[in-house]
Amino acid sequence: MRSNTVGWLMLAPTIAILGIFGIAPFLYVLYVAFHQWNPFGASPLMIYNGADNFRRLVFDPEFLRSVAVTAKFAFFAVVSEIALGYLLAQLFMREFPGRGFFRTIHTLPLIVAPIVVGSVWRLMTTPSIGIIPYLLKQWFDYDMNIGRDAGTAFALTVIMDIWHWTPLVTLTLLAALLALPKEPFEQAQIDGANRWQIFWHVTLPMIRPAILATVFIRLMDALRTVDEVWMLTSGGPGDATRYVGLHIWKIVFPKTDYGYGAAISVIVLYLTLVMCWILYVSLVARRERKRVA
């Protein structure tokens, strides 16, 4: 009984912080989501409108388009980051001159603020000014214009995200790889397994928790990306890169449609949870059940 009290007392600060900064704002957003509220409208009052905001978003083509393009962005960005991050982690496992230096250099993008990343990439990709369009023109006679070409703008946002966040994946997987015991690998080699078999049957199962954790983190980040993309394309051309985070920002901030923006935020949170749950069930729970059986 006494130990319970001490335990609760120890937990109290964390619970209070979670309550104030996590749960309370979420409950407030949920409350706003069931209201029509535009403080800059003729009537700034908050009016309860049931599930109208949720009904509205189901038929809102702008929202649906933003979800679709975000899913596409998250897929390409996260898959590329995991693959590239793993390869780099493997590379940094090996001994080569200057390994420590390259490991450090490689993590530099992580410490750059997203808004700066967006600004720098914008500078590098602005037609007539940026180095990238210049080189593409010189080498391939290709006129890159992110103000006009939706495909290029989308690809650039993915590349920018990969550049910024792959080091995080590398660091996580490097830590996971370094922590692996040597025995299973030696055993596999003795058994005559080739590189691919070792990767598939030994390495991958052992680092799967680290990969999954990284996927979850990167997926959640990718689904709510705003600042980098805002700086690079502002959501354009047209709505080609109007990702859902940016869409919510535009609904809530310039349009000041707080009720609808809150409803979209809640749904996006729900979709993110569902996506993570599906991933968890398909990649972890099923295997765990199989293992137990």
Partner 1 sequence: MIKKSGIGLAALTLALMTTALPARADFWSDAGAKYKGVVLHGVTESTPPSNYIKDVLAPEFEKKTGIKVEIETTSWDQMYDKAIKDMEAKTGIYDMIYIEQDIIYAYLARNFLVDITKSLKDDPSLKSPDYDESHYTTFANYFKNADGDIFGTPMEAFIKVYLYRTDLFNDPKIQEAFKKETGKDLKPAVTHEDYTEIAEFFTKYGKDNGLDLWGTTAQAHTGHPASWYEFFESIAPTFGVFNWGVDASKNYAASVENGGTMNSAESKAAMKYWLHLRDIAPPESAASTWTEVGTTFAAGRVAQGLVYGENAAWIASDAEKSKVVGNVGVALPPTEAKVLEDVKAGKGYLGYYDGGAFGLPVTSKNKEASLLFLQFIGQDSVQPDWAVAAPRITNTATYDDPKIVDMDKKLNGYYSMLKNDGKLFAGAPPYPFHAQVREATAPIFYKILLGEIPSDEGLDQMAAAAEAELKNLGYRK
Q: At what angle do helices 258-280 and 61-93 cross, to 10 degrees?
A: 40
Please tell me the distance from the alpha carbon of residue 216 to that of residue 271, in angstroms, as a whole number: 13
Verify binding: residue 254, partner 1, rule CB under 8 A: yes
| In the complex, least distance from residue 31 CB atom to partner 1, rounded to whole angstroms | 16
From candidates 49, 145, 202, 216, binder to partner 1 by CB under 8 A: 145
Concatenating the DSSP letter of every residue in 180-197 gives: S-SHHHHHHHHTT--HHH
CB atoms within 10 A of CB 105: 11
| In the complex, least distance from residue 87 CB atom to partner 1, rounded to whole angstroms | 33
Report in angstroms the alpha-carbon separations of 110 from 23, 117, 172, 179.
28, 10, 13, 23
Verify binding: residue 43, partner 1, rule CB under 8 A: yes
Cβ-contact 127, 236 below 8 angstroms:
no
From candidates 148, 201, 287, 289, binder to partner 1 by CB under 8 A: 148
From candidates 70, 214, 233, 265, binder to partner 1 by CB under 8 A: 233
From candidates 79, 113, 129, 274, binder to partner 1 by CB under 8 A: 129
Span from 1-9, 21-29, 170-178, 231-239 in contact with partner 1 (CB under 8 A)? 231-239
From candidates 19, 25, 41, 151, binder to partner 1 by CB under 8 A: 41
Contact residues for 264 (Cβ-Cβ < 8 A; gap 6+): 57, 63, 244, 247, 248, 251
Contacts with partner 1, residue ranges (CB under 8 A): 38-44, 62, 115, 126-129, 143, 145-148, 150, 230, 233-242, 250, 253-257
